[in-house]
Amino acid sequence: MLAVHELIVDIEGSRVLRGVSIEVKEGELVCLVGRNGAGKTTAFRSIMGFRKAVSGSIIFQGRSLLSLRPFQIARMGIGFAPEESEVFGELTVAENIAMPTWTHANERTAADRINEAYNVFPNLRRYEGRSGQALSGGERKMLSIARALALGPKLLLLDEPTEGLSPVIIPSIIEGLSNIRAFGHAVFIAESNIHHVPDFADRLYVIERGEIIFAGRPDEARRDPAVARVIEGISPVPAS
């Protein structure tokens, strides 16, 4: 489905990604783990067309994404929920979720896509009429993911879905990820805390200083002493 091969990206003259290769297959949930500044967000923004590659390839369902703009990539079937949980504060929860159905049509009806978003995070139904700016951090995170899901994507990119959240909220986010996978969507997650990686993840990549230093099962990563030192040394995300 998604194949990133030997991706090199520079930002303001500094090399941020150094030959990154990642694969996400249909229906998989794959995690990219690394400390802050390791290159996770740059990898996601490069896939979405916000950052241009120096070299390498990004292929989605047999088509290169390198020459496409972000809105074209979204229309191909990649939903993106950024770390910042950027929701529209002046719009209601219902309007935020419905917005992708106003701008993008696919083979599924708008009602079906909206219902699926609510089924992933049922608590959002209670806040349909509430404005985005009146939500808590955890609620904004759920709304950001739900809105990306309402696009009707084949693949969801979620950058730090548990970043800065209270420990009591994180299980709801993880349950939502399980629901998304059960609906058949592929999911690619960036996380800075190895302990927030879902138990049902199919594969784990560890990135350090812009390079992939491990690719395999999460339990295998902990058995590799060099990799374990990196992932266990990542500071837990502070609660808010």
154-198: pLDDT as tens digits = 999 999 998 888 888 899 899 999 999 988 899 999 998 888 888
Q: What is the mean pLDDT of residues 103-125?
A: 91
Q: What pLDDT is attached to residue 147? A: 93
Q: What pLDDT is attached to residue 239? A: 37
How many domains are there within the chain?
1
pLDDT surpassing 50 at residue 7: yes
35-52: pLDDT as tens digits = 888 999 999 999 999 999
CA distances (Å), origin 95, targets 28, 49, 85? 29, 26, 16
According to DSSP, the residues that pair with 59 across neighbouring strands are 3, 64
Tell me the helix, strand and coil percentages in the chain, rounded to 5.
Answer: 35, 25, 35
Orientation angle between helical segments 170-182 and 110-120, nearest 10 degrees: 140
186 falls within a domain: yes
121 falls within a domain: yes
Q: What pLDDT is attached to residue 104? A: 82
pTM above 0.85, yes or no: yes
150 falls within a domain: yes
Residue with tokens 């784990």: 204
- Provide the residue range defining the domain that includes 161: 2-232
Q: What pLDDT is attached to residue 18? A: 96
239 falls within a domain: no
Q: What is the mean pLDDT of residues 68-92?
A: 90
pLDDT surpassing 50 at residue 89: yes
| E runs forming strands in 109-194 | 155-159, 186-191
Give the confidence band of 223 by pLDDT, cuts at 50, 70, 90: confident
Give the confidence band of 208 by pLDDT, cuts at 50, 70, 90: very high
| Average pLDDT in the chain | 90
238 falls within a domain: no
237 falls within a domain: no
Q: Taking a C-beta distance cutoff of 8 angstroms, is the pair 191, 33 a contact?
A: yes
240 falls within a domain: no
120 falls within a domain: yes
User: Which position has the higher pLDDT, 230 or 151?
Assistant: 151
Domain holding 9: CATH number? 3.40.50.300
Give phi and psi for 189, each to the nearest 5. -115, 140
pLDDT surpassing 70 at residue 236: no
